[in-house]
Structure 1
Amino acid sequence: MNITLSVLDQSPLLPNQTPSDALQQTTELAQWAEKLGYARFWVSEHHSTKSLAGSAPEILAAHLAAHTNHIRIGTGGVLLPHYSEYKIAEVFRVLESLYPGRIDLGIGRAPGGMPGVNYALNRGKYPNVQDYPKQVQELIYYLHGEKHPTYQIQATPLGENVPSIWMLGSSGTSAMMAAELGTSYTYAQFINGESGATSMKQYYESFQPSIHQNEPRGSVAIFVICGETEEEAEYLASSLDLALLRVENGQFHDYFPSPEEARQYSYSPFEKKRVQYNRQRMIVGNPEQVKEKIEKLARAYEVGEVIVNTIAVPFEKRMKSYELLARVFNLQ
């Protein structure tokens, strides 16, 4: 089965490291992913989250594009309800002009952090997420050089190339929006481990051609931990198991725990069940096991691209996980 592999990176803070370290690791990882043959490299948007350094993906994307040569660079994604669609269009028209044919604009409508983030980013008001579909529509028109019917303005700089637009989501609602507006769609299984294949099917069946694209295009993003052995992968994954559990319990730490710290944690019976439940959001194993599970996932979603999000401690193991994955899939 021919599968395209890409990367989503959240710039996680590891033990005894700084946000600057996390962003530098993201840069190194983007260069490594390009060398290994991954198709695209996306960075996320999180606010007031100490364990994740990526709060401004459009800036980080510009930095990464400048430090790589050909891999597609994008956002996974810009949280559009917080911003002016006109300004986002101009930012990404600049990026596309600087790096033609390499820029992806992934967008979402989630808050991206604690409840106060919504108010802080919107001058004390709660954003009207009901306007999100209209925002996406106007964003598409701006990116394609169309004039706004009321304001009679265009998003500059103008150019022949248009960034690829991906709507990101973890529900059937977002899938239907992407279908109706005629954008590509990525299901975030690393956020919601349920109903993803059903949502993707709804997207395919309901897709309506737009000024941006004529046919549907889907992908799925999932946590992946690949070790040289199954035992090593399980050991590394214990870090992510504990990190996800802490977030669910409202325990926000400054960094992702090490596997040693995770192994020392005393899980209650309920917490053990939650860890197993969250494994729906992850693929863990040796290279052959991971390859088989990714291929199964792609078949279930009927997609040709899987976006891999790997958080492992130490950083070298994160790099190694992507290397093992590239090798078993024979990426070029």
Structure 2
Amino acid sequence: MAYRLSLLDKSPVMSGETATAALQRTLHLAQQAEKWGYHRFWLAEHHNTEQLAGPSPEILIAWIVAQTRYIRVGSGGVMLQHYSPYKVAENFNLLASLAPGRIDLGVGKAPGGMPLSTNALQLGIDAAKKGNFADQLRLLNSWLQPVEQDGDEEILRATPQPAHAASRFLLGASEESARLAAEQGWQFVFAAHLNGDRQLLEHSLQTYSRLSDGQRALVAVQVVVADSPAEASLLTAGLKQYHVQVKGGQGVNVATLEQAERYVRQGGYTDYLIEPRTPSLIKGTAAQVHAQLQALHQHFAIDEFVIDTPINDAKARLASLESLATHHLVAA
């Protein structure tokens, strides 16, 4: 098999447990992922939710690289719309200086939460000066570029400047995102775990490859591995997804109808559409899942999959990821 496996973790808080326990499980998963042969371990960013314990991937990255040896660790991703591109560059230049050659900076366009948290995160920001997402990404890119050390204190640098800069990834699920990634010289990650439209996937990957001189994108997918197809179906029986599209605004994906309605209510939106979507999911035994990944690899020339496993049971989730990795090693 000619594809790599990486992990995306959201630090889920299980019923009745503390955030501390959830974060310890994230660390344990990163350490196990390193043993199992996963290439990257990425942390997501979510705000104002008791179900997920990771609002600041930068902090978790520093914690995890200090307690692992060689697996790459990164953000999947930093929600750039909320922050100063200069500060993001400083954070990741510092991380790359702490762990040379191991840091990934993944940047996303989604809010990572409801309008209440978005408003709080962007309190006092001048929208006109901030610019749009493409403007912010260009600024971030400029701060991440090394500047010649000539002693001129009048030049603004995002220090410290690492010997090995963080690898840069743009997360998205559109041809627009693929085009922007290619234009800025970033690697592209198609978020198929949020939008499994195969035609959109194909067009986005083709656009990125064409505009980046043949570079291949990564693809994030939802995967559940179990001992039998029936068990895999049982583990995912309650999995749902809803898409909220506000007129003139950005679409978001949420897990329940209640969350979709809350998003609309908090934003004060009146012109919107809430659509149920069938979650994009690859499930079954390890052999069945790898057969599907192999088919995607061959059809779309995907060399690396970022695995998101939406299982609420912590033990079953760990077993799923171990089985996926160990079968991959055996088959390879």
- TM bin, normalised by shorter chain, reads 0.7 to 0.9
- For residues 198 and 242 of structure 1, the distance between their equivalents in structure 2, rounded to whole angstroms, comes to 23
- For residues 159 and 53 of structure 1, the distance between their equivalents in structure 2, rounded to whole angstroms, comes to 29
Q: Does 1:163 align with 2:162?
A: no
Cα deviation per residue 1:291-312 (whole Å; 9 max; x = unaligned)? 0111122334322000101132
Q: Classify 1:229/1:100 alpha carbon distance in 2 versus 1 (closer, same or farther; 3 Å).
A: same
Gaps of 5+ in 1: 209-214, 253-272
Question: Which AA in structure 2 matches 1:142?
Answer: W
Q: Classify 1:246/1:161 alpha carbon distance in 2 versus 1 (closer, same or farther; 3 Å).
A: closer
Alignment of 1:67-82 (within 5 A): 67-82=67-82
Contact between 1:119 and 1:125, CA under 8 Å: does it hold in 2? no
| Partner SS state of residue 296, structure 1 | helix
Cα shift at 1:119: 1.5
Contact between 1:220 and 1:301, CA under 8 Å: does it hold in 2? no
Cα deviation per residue 1:28-58 (whole Å; 9 max; x = unaligned)? 1101100100000000111112221110000
Question: Which AA in structure 2 matches 1:201?
Answer: Q
Q: Classify 1:152/1:189 alpha carbon distance in 2 versus 1 (closer, same or farther; 3 Å).
A: same
Q: What is the TM-score when the length of structure 1 is the normalising length?
A: 0.84
How many positions carry a matched residue from both structures?
Answer: 301
Candidates 193, 201, 211, aligned match of 1:196: 201
Alignment of 1:66-145 (within 5 A): 66-123=66-123, 127=127, 130-145=131-146
Question: Which AA in structure 1 matches 2:323?
Answer: L
Q: Which residue of 1 aligns with 2:258?
A: 250
Q: Does 1:7 align with 2:12?
A: no
Question: Which AA in structure 1 matches 2:212?
Answer: F
Q: Which residue of 1 aligns with 2:177?
A: 174
Q: Which residue of 2 aligns with 1:314?
A: 313
Gaps of 5+ in 2: 149-153, 244-252, 261-274
- For residues 125 and 92 of structure 1, the distance between their equivalents in structure 2, rounded to whole angstroms, comes to 22
Identity of aligned residues (%): 38
Cα deviation per residue 1:85-125 (whole Å; 9 max; x = unaligned)? 11111111111111000000000121111012222111155
**CA RMSD of superposed structures (Å):** 2.5
Cα deviation per residue 1:305-330 (whole Å; 9 max; x = unaligned)? 00101132321111110111012111
- For residues 17 and 141 of structure 2, the distance between their equivalents in structure 1, rounded to whole angstroms, comes to 39
Contact between 2:107 and 2:170, CA under 8 Å: does it hold in 1? yes
Q: Does 1:207 align with 2:208?
A: no
Q: Which residue of 1 aligns with 2:269?
A: none
Question: Which AA in structure 1 matches 2:107?
Answer: I
Q: What is the TM-score when the length of structure 2 is the normalising length?
A: 0.84
| Partner SS state of residue 168, structure 2 | strand
Contact between 2:138 and 2:184, CA under 8 Å: does it hold in 1? yes
Cα deviation per residue 1:261-316 (whole Å; 9 max; x = unaligned)? xxxxxxxxxxxx95xx524x111101111001111223343220001011323211
| Partner SS state of residue 113, structure 2 | coil
